[in-house]
Structure 1
Amino acid sequence: MKILVTGAAGFIGANVCARLLNNGDSVVGIDNLNDYYDVTLKEARLKPLLQCDSFHFRTIDISDSSAVAKLFEEQQFDRVIHLAAQAGVRYSLSNPLSYAQSNLLGHLNILEGCRHTKVKHLVYASSSSVYGLNDKTPFSTSDSVDHPVSLYAATKKSNELMSHSYSHLYGIPTTGLRFFTVYGPWGRPDMALFKFTKNILAGEPIDIYNNGEMQRDFTYIDDIVEGIIRIADVVPQGNDEWRVETGSPATSSAPYRVYNLGNGNPVKLMDYITSLEKALGIEAIKNFMPMQPGDVYKTYADTQDLFTATGYKPVVSVDEGVKAFVDWYLSYYQH
């Protein structure tokens, strides 16, 4: 198949491209290569992909409506895996307009492209952050997600709503995946694992928010990629029997679905740090700090729906995943 991957130079995007190419698909990757973090890391992720004849890369910003429309018209994709977005909860507090551009206008442009070229399935990145003020765990896609605590989360919830409207109006099959704290080799420098590793190696303290009283459903990159690839083959169907009053918000009378994609096993932040200290062989200097605006205390995915749909459950433990990241980091940065 011919598949568009947006955010192809990103952490998840580059790994998805590699997997699709390995499966024999033809992949067009787009990315705007912005400087939200180190562009050379993005280029390094792209380098092995560019060696493959079945991979074609374009530098396109998804908020550029005419460029996105032209790409869809020229290429006629079978499927779209839409991973491009302005990421980060804390950055959304200081740079809100960039989230409107990428996550709202950008998502709309992708939906329009799918609509006009009759794409057979759109799979897009949502986020566990949509659960916001929810206290009930594990987080289930049948839960209400109407109380986000960051603009980033609000844009991801908006993506789900926008997708539903296009599924309803135009019959476009759409699947949203709520990712839970993705980590692993080639990860983003703004993520905790990257920052912790960098500081520990430099002998500098690491900032630990809410005095370490946090839990995250850390999900290894290979498990995320496996979930994306499998769900791309599960094209949602509309259900005429579905009703708002009695049905789950994760499905619809339209060809629309939302799934959690997480490990399903929350880990205490301090245990995560212990795994990192063990992998590095260095004890961290810890700087305990208060809770940050926009953060949540605990994330925990109910992944039963995904397992029912794909037969897959994440398998990589935090100890394994953190060690794999450290091995990559030491090699890449030549420590």
Structure 2
Amino acid sequence: MRILVTGTAGFIGAALAERLLARGDEVLGIDNHNDYYDPALKEARLARFADHPGYTHRRADLADAAAVNEAFISFKPQRVVNLAAQAGVRYSLKNPQAYVQSNLVGFGNLLEACRHGEVGHLVYASSSSVYGANRKLPFAVEDAVDHPVSLYAATKKANELMAHSYSHLYGLPTTGLRFFTVYGPWGRPDMSPMLFADRISRGEPIDVFNYGNHSRDFTYIDDIVEGVVRTLDQVARPDPAYNAEAPNPGTSDAPWRVYNIGNDRPAQLLRFIELLEQHLGRTVEKRLLPMQPGDVADTWADVSALRRDVGYAPDTSIEDGVARFVAWYREYA
């Protein structure tokens, strides 16, 4: 298939592009190469597959409607995966306009292009952050997500609503995936696995928020990519059991779905740090600090809907995942 993937210089986007190319798809990647974190890492990710004969790359911003439209007209994608976004909860407190432009304006441009390009299925990144102030665990797609605690989370919830309107009005099949704490080789340097690995390697103290009481549903990158591919291949359809008088927040009478995609096995943050110390061969001073604004105490993905519909079965334990991450980190760093 011809598949357009946005954010191919990013962590998940690069891994997905490699997987799609390996199975024989033709991929057009779009990324704006912004400097939210070191662009050299983005270039290194791209270098793994940039010369593949099935891959074409464009440096463009989704907020540029003309550039988006031109890419769709020339490439004529059959399916689209949107992984480009302004990421990061804490940065949204400092630069909210970046989130409005990328996550709202850019996503709107993409929906319009998919509509007019008669795309067969749009899969897009949502986030576990949409659960916000929810405290019932595990988080399930049947739960209401109306109380975000960061602008980043609010933009991801908005993406789900925007997608539903296009699915309802124009019959565009859309599926949102709520990612849970993705980690692994080539990961983002602004996320805790890379931040902690850097500091542990240098013998510097690390800040551990919520006094170390966080738990996270750490999900290894290979399991995430497997779930994205399975979802992409299973085109969203209306739910025949949908009841408008008792609506299910995870389905619709339109061709629209949202799913959690996580490991379904949360771990304490301190356990994750312990494994990093073990594989890096040194211990680190931990500065225990209060919860940060916009953060949540715990995450845990109920992935039963994704298991049922696409056969998703994450199988990488945190012990194996951290070992693989550190092996890559030692070589790359």
1:292 maps onto 2:292 in alignment: yes
The residue aligned with 2:193 is 193
Alignment-derived partner of residue 50 in structure 1: 50
1:129 maps onto 2:129 in alignment: yes
- The alignment-based identity, stated in percent, is 58
The whole-number CA distance in structure 2 between the counterparts of 1:311 and 1:162 is 27
**Partner of residue 303, structure 2:** 303
Aligned to 2:258: 258
Task: Give 3-state SS (helix, strand or coil) of 1:50's partner.
Answer: coil
TM norm structure 1: 0.98
Structure 1 residue 243, shift from structure 2 partner: 2.7
Counterpart-to-counterpart distance in 2, 1:273 and 1:240: 45
Q: Partner residue of 1:229? A: 229
2:154 paired with 1:166: no
- SS for the counterpart of 2:210 is helix
After superposing on structure 2, the runs of 4+ consecutive aligned residues of structure 1 that deviate more than 3 Å are none
CA distance in 2, matches of 1:151, 1:33: 22
Matches of 1:273 and 1:204 in 2, distance apart?
Answer: 13
Q: Deviations over 1:154-201 (max 9, x none)?
A: 000000000000000000000000000000000000000101010111
Aligned twin of 2:89: 89
3-state secondary structure, aligned to 2:49: helix
- Distance in 2 between the 1:115 and 1:305 partners? 26
- Deviations, residues 215-261 of structure 1 (Å, cap 9, x unaligned): 00000000000000001111111246523332311110100000000
Q: What 5-or-longer segments of structure 1 have no aligned partner?
A: none
- SS of the equivalent of 2:81 reads strand
Pairing of 1:1-335 with structure 2 (within 5 A): 1-239=1-239, 242-333=242-333
Superposed CA RMSD: 0.8
Q: How many residues align?
A: 333
Deviation at 1:49, TM superposition (A): 1.0
In structure 2, what residue type is equivalent to 1:236? A
Shift of 1:16: 0.1
Q: Give the C-alpha shift of residue 323 in structure 1.
A: 1.2
Separation (CA, whole Å) in 2 of partners of 1:297 and 1:125: 22
- Amino acid aligned to 1:6: T
Structure 1 residue 331: Cα displacement: 0.3
Offset of 1:20 from its aligned partner?
0.1
C-alpha deviations, 1:258-290, integer Å up to 9, x for none? 000000011001111111111111111111111
The amino acid across from 2:95 in the alignment is N
CA distance in 2, matches of 1:185, 1:14: 11
Letter in 2 for 1:38: D
- TM-score, reference length from structure 2: 0.99
Helix, strand or coil at the partner of 1:49: coil
Deviation digits for residues 16-44 of structure 1 (CA, Å, limit 9, x no counterpart): 00000001000000100000000010000
Segment of structure 1 superposing worse, 257-266 or 309-318: 309-318
